[in-house]
Copies of this chain bind each other. A is one copy, B any other.
Amino acid sequence: MEQRNFCIVGLGLLGGSYARGLTEAGCRVTAVDVRGEAIRFALDKGWIAQGTTEDARPLLEQAEAVVLGLYPHALIDWVRANARFLRPGTLVTDVCGVKQAVVGPVQDAMPEGVEFIASHPMAGKEVSGVEYADSAIFRPANFIITPTERNTPRGIAFARQLAETLGFAHIAQLSCAEHDRMIGYVSQLTHAIAVSLMNANGDPRLCEFTGDSFRDLTRIARINEHLWSELFLLNRDALCAEIEQFEASLTDLKEKLQAGDEEGLKDLFRRSTARRAMFDR
């Protein structure tokens, strides 16, 4: 890609995986993080050329491109305090899982000539920290770019090249509102369901009887409470609407069950089977 000098702000699982992937692709990568161990770990691994826990300014001034690997609220705070150190022409992106609540404030805080193009790498693990960073997590994953009317073709091309360099399977472009509705259904609703299923029954003896299906449905019930409470609350309206749509679908099934409506149940099963089969093509 055109930009070769990156600074990663927030060297967690995603930021660390970006650092690793970009260094492997031949870029020069620096990093800023509050955890000294994170910086030392990435330096030891050779995933970053330089890093700091203190004054970000020198690293930001060198960067052609910046990736903000921070949680949403921390991201907005960081940008308000530090964006003034970015040189004109710098391209900035993020990794946030919600967009409407983040993109406006961040674009507002950018200095003249610095472009923030939002994006969302739909990749992760059930663990956090640069210690688990692995650029292989991007290979099967989706990368969503969410431009606003303040973005330029140059900014959008940068986000696309970044995703290509990191090896994402699929790159798409959505508005921030479309992104948040989509993510409310395919990601946040599934986490809300997994948590609620896990919490619905407190009988510890059930552990010994769980099969694959229960394990699959609750894998993501191991959840980082700080990140996910932010993501849920920042996408509250879209997520509530998705929960209510799901509740209606489950109530429909329950009513058919209570009524002994065998044909009605079979219809639901045929519909879900046909829809799910589309994913396995």
Kindly identify, within residues 218 to 242 of chain A, every residue whose CB is under 8 Å from any CB belonging to chain B.
Answer: 218-226, 228-229, 232-233, 236, 239-240, 242
Given A214-B190, A232-B265: A142 in contact with B209 (beta carbons within 8 A): yes
Chain A residues touching B, range? 35 or more
In the bound assembly, the distance between CA atoms of A252 and B199 in angstroms comes to 10
Of A144, A212, A218, A232, most buried by chain B (CB within 10 Å of CB) is A212
| Chain B hits for A219, CB < 8 A | 213, 216, 276
Given A226-B266, A254-B240, A269-B229, A186 and B210 touching (CB < 8 A)?
yes
A245 contacts B182, C-beta separation under 8 Å: no
How far is A193 from B200 in the complex, measured between Cα atoms in Å?
13
Q: Which residues of B contact A194 (CB under 8 A)?
A: 213, 217, 272
A136 to chain B: which residues have CB within 8 Å? none
Copies of the chain in the assembly: 2
A253 — which chain B residues lie within 8 A by C-beta?
192, 195-196, 243
Interface string of A257-281 (1 = CB under 8 A from B): 1101010011011111101111110
- Considering only CB atoms, which chain B residue lies closest to A235 in the complex? B257
* B-facing residues in A78-108 (Cβ within 8 Å): none
Please measure, in the bound complex, the distance between the C-alpha atom of A170 and the C-alpha atom of B207, giving whole angstroms.
12
**Which has the most chain B C-beta neighbours within 10 Å: A144, A192, A239?**
A192
Q: Are A236 and B260 in contact (CB under 8 A)?
A: yes
- Told that A186-B210, A186-B214 touch, could you supply 5 new A-B pairs with CB distance under 8 A? A195-B269, A197-B249, A198-B271, A201-B242, A247-B250
